[in-house]
Structure 1
Amino acid sequence: MVVYGKGLGNWNTKFADFLRKYNYSISKFADECNVSRNTIGKLCSDNDYIPSANVQKKIMEVVRKHEPEKPITDFWTI
């Protein structure tokens, strides 16, 4: 799956809502946290997808720049 531009129009996951709230494109967020665009796209489209612990850590480091108290359980069941 290749995602260009914002690509967040019809996706209704909590992670996609976060990206919309802070005006991130999939590519911009992926570059900032050093995770593949495909992984970020899957997080936006699939509520059941749970990334590896290493990927979760990278993503949460960027998320917490905006929302320092954001719990990881807002995005994934652990």
Structure 2
Amino acid sequence: MLSTIREQWFSNIRGDVLAGIVVALALIPEAIAFSIIAGVDPKVGLYASFCIAVVIAFVGGRPGMISGAII
């Protein structure tokens, strides 16, 4: 069982890290823009985006799912 988990989680570490960086860089301006539109401090949008990213990292999701800013 441990080897199966290791194969699934670490089979494409380079691609996963690159995808995470790209999504994070795309999410920063989106979170700031939505928070400005909502009339709140841009830090609120960044904190909310970080929190939802952590939650989705732990509970999982679909390969094509991208979570946007939640304000």
Q: TM-score with structure 2 length normalisation?
A: 0.29
Q: TM-score with structure 1 length normalisation?
A: 0.27
